[in-house]
Amino acid sequence: MRSKERLLTAMSGGEVDRVPFSPFLAYWWDFAPSSVTCNGQFAFLKELGADPLLRGFQTSFTNSDILGLEEGVYNVSDDFPGCQIVRQTNSTEKKVTWSTPVGDLTLVKTYSPAGKTWMVTHHPIQQKENYKTLLYLVEKMSIQPFYQPVIDEIVEAGEDGLSAPLISPFRKTPFQALIEHFVGTIKLVYDLYDFPELIEEVLEVMNQRAREAVEISINGPAEAFITWEDSSTMNTNPQTFKKYIASELSEWGNRLHKSGKILIHHACGHVKDLLPEMAEEQVDVLESICPPPTGNTEIWEAQKVLSRKGISVIGGIDPVKFQEYNIPALEEYVKRILNNTNKKGFILANSDSCPPNVTIEKFKKVLEIVQYHSN
């Protein structure tokens, strides 16, 4: 089998010649030397001998920048009908303001030297009136087909990798976007109690716009799609997850399945208590399932619950252990994962991210173990 066939077969729960290994290079790639990154992630993974799963590098559409990214990232644009976007950036802070006839929203991100990343330190929604501004932005946001970047990625990968573009203009379900981008976990909990009708009015319009992007994606050439849900009981509870997130994922999944396409749910947090709800989703794959200390769920624990409903799993290697274990300890760790996991419906990966200090030797060792284990 070549990598694309191996990955698609594993995602559908079929028989594979060996367990696919699809490293997740988030963060690691940003700090890798130019000699490694010069030809791109696909070329690096192919040369490594891994199974390149190109997670969310592209979208099948372009949309107005409603998340405060940067123009061009994920094909977003500052072309926003009825809105002016103002950006202010220095070495420690990024500030984005959306000015509209019904009020302004402001997002602030602050650089963390310790984490070497940008963190949201001021969410756009600070008071009840801000929801009306968000509703205005969601209604006015432009979403248009833009297939060429996906086509280019598919052509580059050929039979040696799988392109899985992002499927939502919010990069995740609308409710999860409220949690992470627009409101924040604690405030959203209070607001759901104080004015649930308003929240659900905004969510309904957000869901409608996200489904437009889903339909555009379905009509494009990609065979699989991913949504960055970051699911975790650290930011939601099972009841809320079921009502607002799992239900919308199932809506997307049902639409994709009618066209024979795959939906991958990125769930990198504490998911153990969400597994019963996740098992009822109309998705094909749960991705970045993470064991302790980063997460709270061993990959084989998740597989036992999800495989009964035909949902495959990706992950298993904790990023902290991937960094800290020496080669002998890593070998024992990976063998334990493989020995406890059913080969069907399973793709091995370091879950969610990869610390910069992980050596290429470790990627090669994992691949060697996978190949030996399959013989």
The answer to whether residue 106 sits within a structural domain is no
DSSP string, 118-185: EEEEE-S--STTHHHHHHHHHHH--EEE--HHHHHHHHHHTTS-EEEEE--TTSS-HHHHIIIIIS-H
Q: Which two tokens stand for residue 11?
A: 């995602």
CATH number reported for the structural domain that contains residue 9 in this entry: 3.20.20.210
Q: What is the DSSP letter of 334?
A: H
The answer to whether residue 112 sits within a structural domain is no
What contacts 135, CB < 8 A, 6 or more positions away? 201, 202, 205
Average pLDDT over residues 31-47: 96
Helix, strand or coil, per DSSP, at residue 96? strand
pLDDT reading at 189 higher than 90: yes
pLDDT one-digit tens code per residue, 80-129: 999 999 999 999 999 999 999 999 999 999 999 887 788 999 999 999 99
The answer to whether residue 24 sits within a structural domain is yes
The answer to whether residue 111 sits within a structural domain is no
Average pLDDT over residues 4-9: 98
Parent domain of 243: 3-74+125-373
CA-based radius of gyration for the chain: 20
The answer to whether residue 261 sits within a structural domain is yes
**Best CA proximity match to 201, nearest among 278, 138, 156, 289:** 138
pLDDT one-digit tens code per residue, 316-349: 999 999 999 999 999 999 999 999 999 999 999 9
DSSP string, 291-328: -TTTSS--HHHHHHHHGGGT-EEEEEE-HHHHHHS-HH
pLDDT one-digit tens code per residue, 118-157: 899 999 999 999 999 999 999 999 999 999 999 999 999 9
Angstrom distance (rounded) from CA 197 to CA 178: 15
**Best CA proximity match to 242, nearest among 199, 273, 202, 286:** 273
The answer to whether residue 348 sits within a structural domain is yes
pLDDT reading at 374 higher than 80: no
What contacts 174, CB < 8 A, 6 or more positions away? 168, 203, 206, 207, 210, 248
When divided into structural domains, the chain yields a total of 1
The answer to whether residue 116 sits within a structural domain is no
- Using CA atoms, how far residue 277 sits from 153, 228, 251, in Å, is 33, 17, 14
pLDDT at position 15:
94
Asked if the peptide bond before residue 293 counts as cis, ω within 30 degrees of 0, the response is yes
Please calculate the CA angle 219-26-88 and round it to the nearest 5 degrees: 85
> Could you tell me the pTM of the whole model?
0.97
The answer to whether residue 87 sits within a structural domain is no
Q: Are strands 93-100 and 84-89 parallel, antiparallel or unpaired?
A: antiparallel
Confidence of residue 74 (pLDDT cuts 50, 70, 90): confident
**Best CA proximity match to 170, nearest among 285, 24, 268, 64:** 64
